[in-house]
Amino acid sequence: MLQNNSALAQLKQQIRETTPRVQGVIKATDRGFGFLEAEDGTSYFVPPPAMKQVLHGDRVDALVKQEGDKTSVEPDTLLEAGLDRFVARLVKRDGRLSVVPDHPLINNQLRARLKNSLDENTLGDGDWVVARLVRHPLKPDDRGFFAQVDELVVKADNPAVPWRVTLARHALEQASPQFGEQWPLHDEGLEREDWTATPFFTIDGEKTRDMDDALHIETREDVWRLSVAIADPTAYVREGDPVDLEAQTRAFTVYLPGQNVTMLPETLANELCSLKEGEDRPTLVCSLDIHSDGTLGDYRFFAAHVRSHARLVYDQVSDWLEGQGDWTPADDSLATQLKALAAMTEARNAWREEHTLVFKDRPDYAFDVDDAGNVLAVRIEERRVAQRMIEESMIAANACCADLLASRVGHGIFNVHQAFEPEKADQAIEFLATQDISVEREQLLELSRYRELRRALEAREDAWLDARLRRFQGYTNMSAHPGPHFGLGLSAYATWTSPIRKYGDMVNHRLIKRVLKGEDAPAEASQALTEQLTERRRLNRMAERDVKDWLYVRYLGPSAENGEVFDAEIIAINRGGMRVRLSANGATAFVPAPFMHSERDKVVIDDKEGHIQIEGQPRYKLGDNVQVALAEAVETTRSLVARPAT
């Protein structure tokens, strides 16, 4: 018998060695089968029995099998697990524990054990936990999947489930840091000018608590003198202190619908540093000249004590400047400043439109949420004149910061954005050529040339072209060295205007203070720090998106039941269908191919080109405006499903 087993094992090994193999990533479906996406882009079918040995996201080495004209693969060796640390629902059945990962394409029930520090009696069926995969059937000596539960995230009946689960999924902190209530000002050897009598004002949202910028503007001959005062948390927090190290770890305040998790202790973020009306605050100030044609002139950074003389709200200011509403400024001096700021904004915006680049206006969507986690409403927040006034002021002040750090220090925390990653530039050139747009490589990689190209493309007003180009474009990274920001069209950009919310701005504050005191600059920020800042910003944005998706499903459940119709824009096309964004509230929904036509083979999807044909005729493309009817709101996957309304 042993000889027979040995012979069988040798035979299987010989088959493995002679069978063609392929490496790739497993993509699961909700029908039991899956696909292996190879590194060259080829997709291989994985039958249901083989899918029981893998999970979505696993990177595997697989055997290629050919039966007639059908090709499939059998995963053989695990190269990298797609699941490591994960959030899951706990399942308690007949004295046994298992977990179901919180993932739309992983519905496996994995056997589990508790970490020694956890008490099973405190955990209930359906509770949310953090777990780790410790066994995998494709690992040597592992016969099946097995997980360890490391911590309880939140009880199943807690109204805070969407927030707690999302933060846990991205390994973000659940609450603001706690470091006591006493925060004395440190002696930094920095002289602060007294500007408390100067009538600064703030413009923020009605519910904003961490107000970090205040403005003052006066009109001089052919120039506006704009003074931007920024809250100064580094006056309270020494570099290297525990609260500073915690802020460095968190990197940003996390803004979620209905809940913020501050980077700094709330006493600092919302009280001592917040530029509240009538309160004296330590600040860093940049006074800069802006000429009537919108160009920036001289600037000066200095430390000062500042007092906000008025707390203004975006909508009220916009209404007044647009000649509507009941609100009016408290006095003529404030009215004069607001009119001057509006005029400066128009001049500055016009200059940037001609010489740099200006973002297209897109609305924001704000959630009104009650204490039970219910969404009462989703409001459209347009970028009106007051928002643009603050935006242009901050961009100008940050451009001055970038110039100061580049010329006087040589390093800092800079936002660097390449329009196209060098390795994707050739692909972008080939794509543009298919649209009869001939470009040189330098037009994608050199800022001055890119500005010209971007304006020419925008003049086409082609939403499909814009959406297709985004496949090749790069992301904003944090860098210790100056570099171009293609999105803004600026040669360098360094933010210092949100130090309550961004650790990189705290770093830049300390560098500005070194310049003011005539001290030598410290060592530049490490690559580890800039990469961490970039990664934490990515995680924060994903957490915000995930919470919104969860709340959208809850909010739009009744709309799905009633088949309510919405105007929408096509924002993505893949081989399974298309994703749309609802104009009324910003929610995204998926329209599966079977909902586009009763016969699936009549729907031809070109996901690379962003086109969909139905019965041989072009029907949808990226950027199109369409009408869809909501069909399902699935909370387990936080997904909305829609069908074409016409």
Please pick, among 44, 299, 314, 493, the residue that the annotation labels catalytic: 314
Catalytic annotation present for 314: yes
Q: Does domain 85-158 have CATH number 2.60.40.10?
A: no
Q: Read off the amino acid at residue 523.
A: A
Which of these ranges, 119-123, 440-444, 587-591, has the smallest mean pLDDT? Answer: 440-444
CATH of domain 563-644: 2.40.50.140
pLDDT of residue 8: 53
Query: Rounded to whole angstroms, how far apart are CA atoms 623 and 608?
Result: 14
Stated as kind and residue range, the H or E segment containing 401 is helix 385-404
Query: Rounded to whole angstroms, how far apart are CA atoms 24 and 56?
Result: 12
What band does 521 get if pLDDT is binned at 50, 70 and 90? Answer: confident
What band does 297 get if pLDDT is binned at 50, 70 and 90? Answer: very high
pLDDT of residue 4: 57
- The DSSP bridge pattern shows strands 280-291 and 296-313 to be antiparallel
Please pick, among 501, 510, 537, 579, the residue that the annotation labels catalytic: 501
Please pick, among 58, 102, 127, 213, the residue that the annotation labels catalytic: 213
Each residue's pLDDT tens digit, 126-168 = 999 999 999 999 999 898 999 999 999 999 999 999 999 999 9
Cβ–Cβ contacts within 10 Å for residue 371, how many?
A: 8
pLDDT exceeds cutoff 70 at 6: no
Each residue's pLDDT tens digit, 414-460 = 999 988 888 888 888 888 888 888 888 888 888 888 888 888 888 88
Which of these ranges, 260-264, 405-409, 424-428, has the smallest mean pLDDT? Answer: 424-428
Catalytic annotation present for 204: yes
Cβ–Cβ contacts within 10 Å for residue 632, how many?
A: 16
Catalytic annotation present for 213: yes
pLDDT of residue 336: 97
What band does 1 get if pLDDT is binned at 50, 70 and 90? Answer: low
Question: What does the block give as tokens for 37?
Answer: 């996406």
Catalytic annotation present for 466: no
Backbone phi and psi for residue 419, each to the nearest 5 degrees, phi listed first: -60, -40
Mean pLDDT of the chain: 93
Stated as kind and residue range, the H or E segment containing 149 is strand 146-154
Catalytic annotation present for 368: no
pLDDT of residue 15: 60
Nearest-5° Cα angle at 268, 265 to 270: 95
pLDDT exceeds cutoff 90 at 359: no
pLDDT exceeds cutoff 80 at 639: yes
Would you list the domain boundaries of the chain? 6-80, 85-158, 193-413+494-545, 417-479, 563-644
The class of domain 6-80 in CATH terms is mainly beta
Query: Rounded to whole angstroms, how far apart are CA atoms 427 and 468?
Result: 11
pLDDT of residue 457: 85
CB 582 within 8 A of CB 588: yes
Catalytic annotation present for 169: no
Stated as kind and residue range, the H or E segment containing 514 is helix 503-517
pLDDT of residue 475: 86
Query: Which of 412, 434, 563 shows the shortest CA–CA distance to 494?
Result: 412
Query: Rounded to whole angstroms, how far apart are CA atoms 489 and 544?
Result: 27
Q: Do domains 85-158 and 563-644 have the same CATH topology?
A: yes
Backbone phi and psi for residue 147, each to the nearest 5 degrees, phi listed first: -130, 160
Each residue's pLDDT tens digit, 554-568 = 999 999 999 999 999
Which of these ranges, 77-91, 308-322, 439-453, has the smallest mean pLDDT? Answer: 439-453
Q: What is the mean pLDDT of the segment spanning 223-245?
A: 97
Please pick, among 58, 102, 127, 212, the residue that the annotation labels catalytic: 212
**Block residue for tokens 């009941």:** 326
